[in-house]
Amino acid sequence: MPQSIQPAVVGATGYAGFELARLLFRHPKVKKPVLFTRDGEGGGPVRLDDIYPHISGNGASPLEPFRWEALRNKGVDVLFLATPHEVSREWVPEAIRQGVRVIDLSGAWRLITPAYREVYGFHDQDAAAADKLSARAVYGIPELHRTDLADAALVANAGCYATSIILALAPLVRAGLVDLAHGVICDSKSGVSGAGKQPTQKTHFVEVAENLSAYSLFSHRHTGEILEQLGLTPEQLIFTPHLLPIPRGILSTIYVRLNSAMQPVQIEDCLRKFYAGSPWVRIFDRGKLPQIQYSLHTNYCDIGFALAADGKRLVMVSCLDNLMKGAAGQAVQNMNLIFGWNEEEGLK
């Protein structure tokens, strides 16, 4: 496997894109990333440190307009797209044709089921080709698809809410412990950076500060990811996201009923065995629950639980940083596995 590759990032001026660029700048096995902007983003700063001065002093960080010719001339091995899903949906097929591996942070390629993809309103010029590419894309949660990521051409980085919920539930669902007929309830709360850098009326300080609001009930785009990855039907899941008055971080509280009464040690054992060898998932000891502050600015997903006295009612708590394990950190973790490196490389 190559010891040094050339990465490129489109969208480094956004919150997740900047976190990604920052991680790549210090990654020991990659060259300094090429930073591209999309058409229509010109006229602004020409260096990333003009927007984010806290990376000043690390050498030049020029931003240049994206061109396929520039991608080829710079010998880019892996292209990270921190772009709107419409852009990723259009650009990825061409990147794959040119032999460039792609890690896409948008929702453009995460879903296989056509009904779930409809929430994005894709209008592919060649729908059949897009469907084939969707089927080839590897869903980018390394803990679930570590083997598939080896030499993957296209990785669809998982959504932040979806990551927090899927990682908490996957061990129990795959072990057949959850009473799916009873349903699963996921109550998730995220910091404002999850909405992206472009301000809206709902994300202005005056609207968010000293407030807590639910949104996108029964219609959030991450719902399809949760259903597909856990093998659930829409009737088996209620997922409600909320906006927290904090910059970053996600806490998901997940309510399930078990098929039969269990002891806390059995739940903990199931989680620990499933994530043995997964350095970025931390299982909390019985009686302790994660908090957002514990995983901030790290690539960890923290998971804890509480089991009712009847042994059948289970509450799980999952926390992560939406810009790290929920976006940029997970993207770097995926890159590490694609190129055969330790998945902790550049993330500690």
Active site residues: 160
Helix axes 85-97, 127-136, angle to 10 degrees: 80
Burial 31-58, CB ≥16 within 10 A → b, else e: eebbbbbbeeeeeeeeebbebbeebeee
216 φψ region: left (φ > 0), alpha (ψ -120 to 50), beta (else):
left
Dump strand ranges (E) for the chain: 7-10, 34-37, 63-65, 78-81, 101-104, 138-140, 154-157, 184-190, 213-214, 237-243, 250-257, 281-283, 301-307, 313-320
Say if CB 38 and CB 8 are below 8 A apart.
Answer: no
Q: From CA 307, how far away is CA 313, in angstroms rounded?
A: 6
What is the phi/psi pair of residue 119, to 5°?
Answer: -65, -20
User: Three-state SS for 94?
Assistant: helix
Q: Which residues pair with 8 in a beta bridge?
A: 34, 79
User: Parallel, antiparallel, or unpaired: how do β-strands 154-157 and 78-81 relate?
Assistant: unpaired
